[in-house]
Amino acid sequence: MIRRIHYAIIDSTNSEARRLSENGLDEPLLVTATEQFAGRGRHGRAWHSPRGGAWMSLAWPVRKPPIAYAAIALPAAVGVHRGLRDVVSYAADFRIKWPNDLLVSDQKVGGVLCEQLISGSRADALVIGVGINVDFDLAELPSDLRHPATTLRAAFGKNYDVEKVIEAVSERLAEVIADFEAHGLTSSLVKEVQDNLAYLGKVRSITIGGETIAGRVAGIDDAGRLLLDTSKGRIACETGEFAAAHEAADRNRM
């Protein structure tokens, strides 16, 4: 049983998890909130978090050097993917948009933000933030999102209990992180990502260091890097802004 702290409203569950982890953690800690007023996504982008979403962060005490957790976004996405299928249906077609978003019908229903608290050469804790759009009016979201969004209610035509989503996702998340910490990025975990990867075989683009490269998505490699078949051959991407090829030149939000 993971210790949990819940807030009616907070700036960011990731920020609070970081604050609570600064003096060290003896056990995993789950921070949840009914609403966030300063939720964060990748690269400091705002994550809109109205009432009716599952907003949570899992603070995880670590015992290995920071490099051991470099690929944590993929196992985290797998944990969220498993939890969502537990709640909705094992057959539901959730897709993992590399490296950290969850899609259904090409609309974003959830995202993951992974951070490390590092002292010198040692990682003190992982903080894995998860946001799931569960059951609120889509009109509450901004109209200029980088990727079209949906909620579980809108996608599947029924109401879902936020608490049940939190329980399922946090349980699966802890399960996958424990396995990743013990065994690393295993072939079975890579296969699970590959089997549920969004845009496989489709042309997409990635922007790395200001350069945009288009290619056909070929999957991920054993290190969790995105593989793109480009006009110059296959490349392996460790990070970057992943978007539709025709959007990359004129859209900077995702």
pLDDT at 243: 61
Question: Which pLDDT tens digit goes with each residue over 18-57?
Answer: 999 887 788 999 999 999 887 655 545 555 788 999 999 9
- 251, pLDDT greater than 50: no
pLDDT band at 207 (very low <50, low <70, confident <90, very high): confident
Say if residue 246's pLDDT is above 50.
Answer: no
Percent of all residues in the chain with a pLDDT value above 70, rounded to a whole number = 87
Would you state the structure tokens that stand for residue 95, as one six-digit string? 């897709």
Q: How far apart are CA 193 and CA 59, in angstroms?
A: 23
Residue 211 DSSP code: E
Token pair for 252: 């900077």
121-171 residue pLDDT tens: 555 789 999 999 999 988 887 777 778 899 999 999 999 999 999 999 999
pLDDT of residue 252: 25
Indicate the pTM of the whole model. 0.88
Among all chains, which residue has been given the structure tokens 């959007």? 247
Quote the percentage of the chain above a pLDDT of 90.
63
b/e map 188-203, b = 16+ CB within 10 Å: ebbebbeebbbbeeee
pLDDT band at 88 (very low <50, low <70, confident <90, very high): very high
Please choose, from the candidates 160, 139, 166, 162, the residue with its C-alpha nearest in 3D space to the C-alpha of residue 150.
139
Please answer whether residues 66 and 123 qualify as being in contact, where contact means their C-beta atoms are separated by less than 8 angstroms: yes
